[in-house]
Structure 1
Amino acid sequence: MNLFLLETLRLYSPVPLIRRWTRTPVQLGDITVPEDTLVTIPIATIHRDREVWGDDAGEFRPERFDGGGGKSLSALLAFSMGPRACIGQNFAMVETKATVAAILQRFRLALSPDYVHAPTDVITLRPKYGMPMIVSGVDGL
């Protein structure tokens, strides 16, 4: 389930970008970003960058995080990184795993044929037209 969640966060990070002010000049490759500059970090773009994730960057492949993650985990910015990272990251991951496990033990879920894939950014990333689901009980419940 952890691989599934990490790959979901990579492709559909709740926050598509973050902004940070530089306190000192910062060298980014061949570019020097001056002090007191607002830098926008496009998480959604980085998470689909073929140079970072490979030619299949647009595909859902949870196994890309198997084996420790290495470079993949350092490029995953769903909760930001470093001293400004989300302090609720570990809690969010544990809570999500527990919730998904509880739901999957009790129900079978399928996307409705009425679903239209249209992610939209309204503070956080969400389905523009909702996510209609077909829910049925698991056999024996």
Structure 2
Amino acid sequence: MPYTTSWLIKDRVVYSEFHGAVSSDELATFIEQVLDLAKAGTGMVHHISNSLDLQKLEFSLKTAQTLVKGRKLTTEITWQVDINRNPINRWFADFLSQFVGVRTRTFPTLTEAFEFLKAQDPTLADVDWEALRVQIESKQEALK
């Protein structure tokens, strides 16, 4: 799979990471997985999507419309936080978030994404975000 999705903080923050190329079918499966996790969460559930290693995303306007048809995530996801530096990927994330009706912010680093979530959701203030960052970056290094 060109992506992984799991709880970063159980029942509160979903974390996804993309690698390589993602097809439209894989994107549809990804959206369903995130939605299922978010529905199972409690309180304000946020999603962090790390696309720094995304090389290619296969999509068209028709595909995007099909993927998000009838999917409004505003009741499941409070914030969608994207991590990427690629202008095309950033545009697609913003475009897709408008279809699904979720508030989205994009940052170039994991640290900035974490800082944003801490500021937006005070119930996550006691989380050791630095330890989570180190854990994520260690896994990324091991994959290289």
TM-score (norm 2): 0.28
Higher RCO structure, 1 or 2 (CA under 8 Å, sep 6+): 1
